[in-house]
Amino acid sequence: MDPKMLKELNKQIQEETYSSYIYLAMATDLEATGYKGLATWMHVQAREEKIHADIFLNYILERGDRAELLAIEKPPSSWLSPLEIFRTAYAHEQHITGRINHIVKVARDLNDNATLNMLQWFVEEQVEEEANASEAVQQLEIVGDDGRGKLMIDREMGTRVFAVPASAPYYPKPGQATGA
Ligand code: FEO
- The tens digit of pLDDT for each residue in 79-101 reads 999 999 999 999 999 999 999 99
Q: Is the pLDDT of residue 40 over 70?
A: yes
Residue located nearest, by CA, to atom 1 of ligand 1 = 49
The pLDDT assigned to 141 comes to 98
Ligand 1 pocket, residue 107 CB under 6 Å: no
Q: Is the pLDDT of residue 165 over 90?
A: no
Ligand 1 pocket, residue 50 CB under 6 Å: no
Fold of 3-157: Ferritin (1.20.1260)
Q: Could you tell me the pTM of the whole model? A: 0.97
List, in order, residues 6 or more apart from 90 with CB less than 8 Å away. Answer: 130, 133, 134, 136, 137
Q: pLDDT band for 134, please (50, 70, 90 cuts).
A: very high
Residue boundaries of the structural domains of the chain: 3-157
List, in order, residues 6 or more apart from 148 with CB less than 8 Å away. Answer: none
The pLDDT assigned to 180 comes to 64
Ligand 1 centroid–CA 18 distance in Å is 10
